[in-house]
Amino acid sequence: MPARRPSHTMQTFGFNHPTAPPSHLPVASTSTSESTTPKRKKLTHAEALEQIRTFLRSQSSYDVFPVSFRLIVLDHHLVVKKALNTMLQNGVVSAPLWDSEKSQFAGMFTVSDLIHLIQYYYHTTTYEDAAADVDHFRLQSIRDIEKAIRVPPPPLLSVHPMRPLFEACKLLIQTHARRLPLIDTDDQTGKEVVLSVLTQYRVLKFMAVNCRETIHLDQTLRSLNIGTYCNPSPEHDNPYYPIATATMQTAVFDVVHMFSELGISAVPIVDANGKVINLYETVDVITLLKLGTYQALDLTIAQALARRPVDFEGVLTCGPESSLASVFALIRMRRIHRLVVIDDGRPKEGESEQDAKQRKGRLLGLISLSDVLRHVIGSDVEIGGGGVGAVPVETLLAGGTAQGKAPRADRAAAQAAIRRDAELRGEFPS
């Protein structure tokens, strides 16, 4: 659908998208043209962060988007197969859902929903029945599936496009959401209008392009504690705890189970020595579904990766001593979703070069875009682990929370939803 401007005028910014660089982090440049531009005062890390936050407070949430952009919105009565095909054809991995009967926003359809659907069918039915049901199952019934596998439903959150960008970022962090729909109200009809969806990447890209202060964020990622790092202990069998990993021989469904149970979107693939050799992501599951091979869940990761598109750009890695400025320099140049932190092989005190080389490439940690955004916005917006429901934005931003867990349901609820869809198709008597 064509992009609609909000009900108030505003300034917008467009982005350039140069070709992608190599997979290593670039070095952030701190100079422009020294002959014509006076030298700027060197900012401390804290000063740079505060100036970036001031900039975000001065911009609306809609300012992030270019003058012209495309938005894919799906009717929640649409069947999953058609929705998936639409997303694949348009190169998106999520889309807002629209309730055409009530003329209102009905949530988001994301890769996580597909993961939950796959997990349910894998445990409860045959491949043939799963393929048949997924081809006819409607988007509006996915929440019943999530209840059946005891996954908390995603909060129905949105923000007005004219709200300050800083507040939208706080909401993303508070709710652990990866995306936030921008919802306006039509002045004539009083109905909701979905303008676009704010993502963590769009926000960070906006900062990288428009905030020169990012070049002063020269402290290392490890010293800033940005990301999740391996911290093994005798209490856990996982040598990379708390990071979930897999090998090339791991079954695809085992990784899909990790996605659903842990709420993660990527799993590093390591060899016997702990060196990172690849990364399996939730979007890789879409590739298998695109091929129509539901049986592919029994494939090994090695077999599944062989089915990846030839244009896959590879895994982005960095060292623990990489700076936050270098991350923003990379975001300026290409789209990223996460960075895998690996050992750079630098010799430690008293260590031989041979031993250091053997460590090179080993998994040390994982950095997501939410980790970067949380550091920039500030950790004081953390609200704890309570679930967040359909709560007004103003309540959340004021520090309020909506406590409570999703009600538990058994498989009968999901089966009832499947039956309702089947009845609509005339396959069962009402």
pLDDT at 20: 35
pLDDT digits (tens, 9 = 90+) for 242-292: 999 999 999 998 999 899 888 899 999 999 999 999 999 998 888 777 766
* Residue 9 three-state SS: coil
pLDDT at 385: 32
Contact yes or no for 142/151 (Cβ under 8 A): no
pLDDT digits (tens, 9 = 90+) for 119-154: 787 777 666 666 666 667 889 888 888 887 777 777
Encoded tokens for 179 = 């995306």
CA-to-CA distance for 6 and 189, rounded, in angstroms? 14
Sheet with 94-99: strands ordered across: 74-75, 94-99, 104-110
In order of 118, 146, 193, 422, the CA distances from 126 in angstroms are 12, 19, 40, 17
Which CATH number is correct for 216-378, 3.30.300.30, 3.30.43.10, 3.10.580.10, 3.40.309.10? 3.10.580.10
Residue 306 has pLDDT above 80, yes or no: yes
pTM score over 0.75: yes
pLDDT at 127: 60
Please report the DSSP string for 353-404 in residue order.
HHHHHHHTTBEEEEEEHHHHHHHHH-GGG---S----S--HHHHHTT-----
Residue 397: band (very low, low, confident or very high) from pLDDT cuts 50, 70, 90: very low
**45-199+380-424 placed in CATH 3.30.830.10:** no
Residue 377 has pLDDT above 50, yes or no: yes
Averaged pLDDT score across all residues of the chain? 80
CA-to-CA distance for 415 and 430, rounded, in angstroms? 15
Question: Average pLDDT for residues 350-371, to the nearest whole number?
Answer: 91
Contact yes or no for 208/200 (Cβ under 8 A): no
Structure-model confidence comparison of residues 316 and 41, the more confident one = 316
The torsion angle over the Cα atoms of residues 15, 266, 180 and 403, rounded to 10 degrees, is: -160
Question: Average pLDDT for residues 48-65, to the nearest whole number?
Answer: 97
pLDDT at 303: 92
pLDDT at 359: 92
Structure-model confidence comparison of residues 251 and 406, the more confident one = 251
Question: Average pLDDT for residues 366-395, to the nearest whole number?
Answer: 63
What percentage of residues in the chain have a pLDDT greater than 70? 75
Residue 14 has pLDDT above 60, yes or no: no
Contact yes or no for 90/72 (Cβ under 8 A): yes
Domains 45-199+380-424 and 216-378 share a fold: yes
Residue 347 has pLDDT above 60, yes or no: yes
Contact yes or no for 63/11 (Cβ under 8 A): yes
pLDDT at 6: 54
Encoded tokens for 167 = 């507040």
Residue 395: band (very low, low, confident or very high) from pLDDT cuts 50, 70, 90: very low
Residue 302: DSSP 8-state: H
Domain residues of the chain, as ranges?
Answer: 45-199+380-424, 216-378
Write phi, then psi, for 157 (nearest 5 degrees).
-110, 150
Q: Give the CA angle between residues 399, 61, 339 to the nearest 5°.
A: 85
Minimal CA–CA distance to 111: which of 178, 193, 195? 178
Cβ contacts of 166 within 8 Å, gap of 6 or more: 53, 56, 57, 377
Question: Average pLDDT for residues 200-220, to the nearest whole number?
Answer: 97
Residue 48 has pLDDT above 80, yes or no: yes
Contact yes or no for 165/53 (Cβ under 8 A): no
pLDDT at 418: 43
Residue 383: band (very low, low, confident or very high) from pLDDT cuts 50, 70, 90: very low
Using a CB cutoff of 8 Å and minimum separation of 24, what contacts does 279-284 make?
A: 279/315, 279/338, 279/340, 280/246, 280/252, 280/255, 280/304, 280/305, 281/337, 282/93, 282/111, 282/112, 282/115, 283/93, 283/111, 284/308
Write phi, then psi, for 109 (nearest 5 degrees).
-110, 120
Which ranges of 8-98 would DSSP assign to H, the alpha helix?
Answer: 45-58, 80-90
